[in-house]
Structure 1
Amino acid sequence: MKPRISKQEFQNRILKMRKYMEANDIDAILVYGDEYRKENLRYVSNYWPIFERGAMLLGRTLDPIVLCAPEGQKVAEEMSVWPDIRLSPDFLCVTVPDEIDYPLAQYTSFSSLADELREKEKLEKLGIVGKDAMPVDLYEKIKAGFDTELIDCNELLFDLRREKSAEEVECLREAARIADAGFKAMMQSELIGKTELEAAGIAEAAARAEGAEHIIFQIYGSGKRTDRIVGRPTNKIIENGDMIMCALAVQYEGYVATCEMPFAVGEYSEETKYVIDVLVRALKAGQPYLKAGVPMKQFVQAVKQVFYEENLSEYDVYPPLHGIGCAEAESPYPDTETEEVFKAGMTVNTDISLFGLPGGSNRIEEGFVITENGAESLSPFINQCCKEWKVC
């Protein structure tokens, strides 16, 4: 049976939100999401809008209400774990300025939702999750419609999402398995003579066939194009000896795992071997510090020490680790000064990178779940590639 997030898990999240509301004197919380910034809304309701916007409204006693736009109504009914689905005209298609007429839609206004809340409980403070993601005009409509003080509650969801349940870990494990399969299919194909777009298509097709809900992104570059930190695939022809930089981010049941292993096609130059060698050594140097109770800065320092010893610090452009979950990158995102310790149940992704070297630019991305005894890899193929890499 494929892993998924149970109704009980969502109910537990609602209980935690209500405890936060009580502790912080918040009367209700509105969690915003859209097609791109989906992570918080998916986390609390399982709904993921397409084209449009959405939200979930939660009172201290009022059952969750999921808000969507007319085109997304059936999608919301299919996905949402909460049965109360309402339509909002303020969540219509986000890409056009025209007023779109939906004659069959029965809309709910923000003011009527506020009245519904006030019939059962007080509404003096409304928490907002996703203020940083929503348009200013939508925020102003929410403020006017609910006619109450709005409190930024982003930290609530960031905190709740940091440590993962067993169900979340299994969803991430499946996302990583699928990403591994897509990456492996691409890496083991004959790529010389193909365009980057064709090569990227091999990875995406294999991942979809394995059950990918969505390809969040695929970074792709070959040869000199690896210098682009987050470049997209193009019609460039892949040539013998080209370094390949491919990061494949796969979503499964709302959870995102990314895998990436540096490699070259055909004949490896000594310069390219050197880049890969240093990245693999940096990963191996940091990995012992991926353990519950260990300060996060120690992992970062160990990775950066390898680069320092090789006089490559100028090619190291950002921290080598970040959290994963409902977003491809989420908290924690530690640096060399981060005193916070890893906790069992955290899920992280390496992002160990060097950019601008003569042999090419690249990174290693491998997912891990933190345990009391160390870190368990979520990406078996990437893990195998790193273990089997022969240093130059």
Structure 2
Amino acid sequence: MNTTTIPQSEFEERIKKFQANIKQEGLDACLVHATESDMAHVRYLSEYWPTFETAAVFVPAEGEAVLLVGPESDLYASHRSFFKNIEKLIQYRESAEPDAPGMSFITYKDLVAKYVPKGIKKLGIAGSAITSMPVYLGLKEQLPGVELIKADMTLWPLRFVKSENELNAMRKAFKISELA
């Protein structure tokens, strides 16, 4: 089957460019959110999109990015995304907020300690319009003293300019839609 794909190297380059924007804005990290109906930011960085729960990508200004998923999505995420760092947080469960007995989760405090040992003072939020109340309250409770900053414009400019691979995918989608 002939498919049009974005190579892993392009995703890795996107993260590097995003990290440069994060540093330029004086942020220590950025949390990028997605839902099943608005998944573009997370997919742009990770090639993963939530189909049932919500998700995020935690991108430190320096270091490796981390895909954050809910309790029912870790296996799917591990097969869909190239990320080696995938963590489960209860804040990314589906909107009915079901209990998850017997499951273990990390917290935002654990996340920062594991991936940014020096800590953070300023955390950007991209996808701010779709950031849920459980996520917001979790951040405020677990990261007291960390300033949360709307940071959508650290990511959008990267998405405005399309690569040749993205253009090829768009051309292919156009051809398919013409057949319909």
Task: Answer yes or no: same fold by TM over 0.5.
Answer: yes
> Once the two structures are superposed, what CA deviation does each residue of 1:129-161 show, in whole Å capped at 9, x if it has no partner?
111112234212123223300111111222111
- Secondary structure (helix, strand or coil) at the match of 1:159 reads helix
Between structures 1 and 2, the one with greater strand share: 1
Equivalent residue, structure 1, for 2:91: 90
Instruction: Say if 2:137 is the partner of 1:140.
Output: yes
Letter in 1 for 2:123: L
Contact 2:55/2:92, CA 8 A, preserved across alignment: yes
Letter in 2 for 1:160: L
- Secondary structure (helix, strand or coil) at the match of 1:83 reads coil
Letter in 1 for 2:10: E
Where do 5+ consecutive residues of structure 1 fail to align?
Answer: 183-392
Higher RCO (C-alpha under 8 Å, 6+ residues apart): 2
Equivalent residue, structure 2, for 1:101: 100
Equivalent residue, structure 2, for 1:155: 153
> What is the Cα deviation at residue 106 of structure 1?
2.8
Alignment map for 1:1-392 (pairs within 5 Å) = 1-94=2-95, 96-97=96-97, 99-103=98-102, 105-119=103-117, 121-147=118-144, 148-182=146-180
> Once the two structures are superposed, what CA deviation does each residue of 1:292-349 show, in whole Å capped at 9, x if it has no partner?
xxxxxxxxxxxxxxxxxxxxxxxxxxxxxxxxxxxxxxxxxxxxxxxxxxxxxxxxxx
Letter in 1 for 2:111: L
Q: Which contiguous aligned blocks of 4+ residues in structure 1 show a shift greater than 4 angstroms?
A: none
d(CA) in 2 for partners of 1:46 and 1:73? 14
d(CA) in 2 for partners of 1:167 and 1:108? 35
d(CA) in 2 for partners of 1:72 and 1:9? 24
TM-score by length of 1: 0.44
Count of aligned pairs: 178
Letter in 2 for 1:42: R
> What is the Cα deviation at residue 178 of structure 1?
1.7
Instruction: Among all aligned residue pairs of Structure 1 and Structure 2, give the percentage whose two residues are the same amino acid.
Output: 26
TM-score by length of 2: 0.91
> What is the Cα deviation at residue 168 of structure 1?
0.5
Letter in 2 for 1:7: Q
Contact 1:114/1:145, CA 8 A, preserved across alignment: no
Contact 1:131/1:139, CA 8 A, preserved across alignment: no
Letter in 1 for 2:168: E
- Measured on the aligned residues, the alpha-carbon RMSD in Å equals 1.5
d(CA) in 1 for partners of 2:33 and 2:165? 23
Contact 1:45/1:80, CA 8 A, preserved across alignment: yes
Where do 5+ consecutive residues of structure 2 fail to align?
Answer: none
Contact 2:71/2:100, CA 8 A, preserved across alignment: no
- Secondary structure (helix, strand or coil) at the match of 1:47 reads coil
